[in-house]
């Protein structure tokens, strides 16, 4: 979707909203990471801002003002700075993103239990069971937009349609901060006026194959014999695109599935060979991973350490704990043990990562207390820290070893590209 700018057919854009049978919503936060970061920097609203860090890192997100200069997610930071040198660069705040995402998902679940998250900032909702009490799907979509804005301070775009495919297309067209309803009777003209790149499953290679066949719009695909599509694209892809070209998508919205792992990585601005500094970074990553698990209501049992060297060689080591945990202290202890066991002597390291697997839903199986731990131990302290961060910001409480001197500016202003 990001490769092309699509427009609504005139009939869909001007017809009064008819949301009968359009019980699938796709809700997508607008420039989520950038919008969330700007909550602590209201003076930067309306200016180009890039969320990322380091010369060798990548762009996590950017405001729409920065996107106008060509800045895009996953772009190398060095290129982003060249495209938009006047942008302010803010470091990511993953704890804040997890907290806001948890609040947004809770809002979704207050409307319907059938929520299918795709990432921290977007989800499908099936609102067929909520229309009797809350009104039509369009009214529910507007209620969600208002609630997210009022409670979280960020905006979202909503697509309303009879299927997941159509709802997701609609939300992309609604951006930023809007809502598009595609009436059930308008699905075919809505879909068929789009370029082939709009279809789910059409990447660059498939798009090139379609263009070689002379197929540029979805309507072209729809009116091409199925046998021709199968011969040119393969059995599965040919059938898949033929169905989508006629607006047919029978997949249901599936209830939330817990993530299989939670973790964080850190790419250094320059290679490190100082074990003390690396352990400090492992502490920050362990605390971040633990906070994400607590926000998601999960605990983990297996700690995995990832180390990438200056030549891009990457190794992983794992350790399974005796008990499930969501404690940053326990994760850090295991990660450092794995790192020390590597026996690295002044090896130049480019990246380290910490990941937890073997996740357990604590709402179904609460965490057991650790033998010997005081009645009010680290677990209570972690949750107190979570509450303080949710109220006052992610930086209000940190381990003492992670506090940087005030002279180390974390916010880069326009023109500061060093």
Annotated binding site for Mg(2+): 28, 121
- Bridge partners (DSSP) listed for residue 49: 88
- Beta carbons of 73 and 91 less than 8 angstroms apart: no
Cα 395 to Cα 8, 43, 91, 102, 399, distances in angstroms: 43, 19, 12, 18, 10
The candidate with the shortest Cα–Cα distance to 249, out of 294, 199, 285, 286, is 199
Q: Both tokens of residue 353?
A: 């990562």
Q: What is the 3-state secondary structure (H, E, C) of 293-310?
A: HHHHCEEEEEEEEEEEEC
Cα 324 to Cα 187, 288, 380, distances in angstroms: 48, 17, 16
Instruction: Give the 3-state secondary structure of residue 223.
Output: coil
Which residues are annotated as part of the binding site? 28, 121
Catalytic option among 10, 65, 116, 122: 122
Q: Does 10 qualify as catalytic in the annotation? A: no
Helices within 218-355 (DSSP H only): 218-222, 226-233, 235-245, 275-296, 328-341
Give the whole-angstrom CA distance, residue 157 versus residue 141.
Answer: 9
- Bridge partners (DSSP) listed for residue 89: 50, 412
- The C-alpha angle with vertex 47 and arms to 46 and 48, in degrees rounded to 5, equals 130
**360-361 and 298-309 strand pairing:** antiparallel
Task: List residues with catalytic annotation.
Answer: 122
């Amino acid at each position: 979707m990001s490769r092309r700018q699509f427009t609504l057919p005139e009939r869909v854009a001007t017809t009064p909203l008819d949301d009968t049978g359009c019980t699938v919503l796709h809700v997508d936060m607008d420039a989520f990471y950038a919008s969330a970061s700007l909550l602590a920097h209201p003076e930067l609203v309306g200016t180009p801002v890039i969320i990322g860090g380091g010369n060798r890192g990548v762009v996590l997100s950017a405001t729409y003002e920065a996107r106008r200069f060509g800045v895009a997610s996953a772009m190398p930071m060095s290129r982003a700075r060249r495209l938009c040198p006047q942008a302010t660069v803010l470091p990511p705040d993953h704890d804040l993103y997890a907290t806001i995402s948890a609040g947004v998902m809770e809002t979704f679940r207050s409307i319907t239990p059938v929520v299918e998250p795709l990432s921290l900032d977007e989800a499908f909702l099936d609102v067929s069971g909520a229309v009797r009490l809350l009104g039509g799907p369009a009214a529910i979509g507007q209620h969600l937009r208002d609630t997210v804005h009022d409670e979280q301070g960020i905006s979202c775009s909503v697509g309303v349609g009879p299927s997941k495919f159509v709802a997701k297309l609609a939300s992309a067209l609604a951006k930023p901060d809007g809502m598009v309803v595609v009436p059930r009777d308008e699905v075919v003209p809505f879909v068929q006026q789009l370029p082939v790149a709009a279809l789910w499953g059409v990447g660059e290679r498939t798009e090139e194959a379609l263009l070689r066949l002379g197929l540029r719009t979805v309507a072209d695909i729809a009116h091409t014999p199925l046998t021709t599509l199968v011969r040119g694209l393969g059995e599965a892809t040919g059938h898949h695109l033929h169905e989508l070209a006629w607006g047919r998508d029978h997949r249901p919205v599936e209830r939330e599935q817990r993530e299989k792992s939670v973790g964080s990585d850190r790419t250094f601005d320059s290679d490190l060979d100082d074990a003390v500094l690396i352990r400090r970074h492992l502490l920050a990553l362990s605390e971040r991973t633990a906070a994400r698990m607590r926000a998601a209501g999960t605990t983990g049992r297996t700690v995995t350490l990832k180390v990438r060297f200056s030549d891009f060689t990457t190794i992983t080591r794992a350790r399974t704990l005796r008990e499930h945990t969501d404690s940053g202290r326990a994760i850090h202890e295991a990660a450092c043990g794995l790192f020390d066991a590597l026996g690295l002597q002044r090896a130049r390291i480019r990246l380290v990562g910490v990941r937890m697997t073997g996740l357990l839903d604590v709402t179904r199986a609460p965490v057991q207390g650790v033998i010997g731990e005081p009645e009010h131990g680290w677990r209570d302290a972690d949750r107190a820290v979570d509450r303080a961060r949710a109220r006052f910001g992610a930086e209000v409480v940190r381990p003492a070893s992670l506090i940087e001197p005030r002279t180390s500016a974390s916010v880069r202003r326009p023109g500061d590209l060093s």
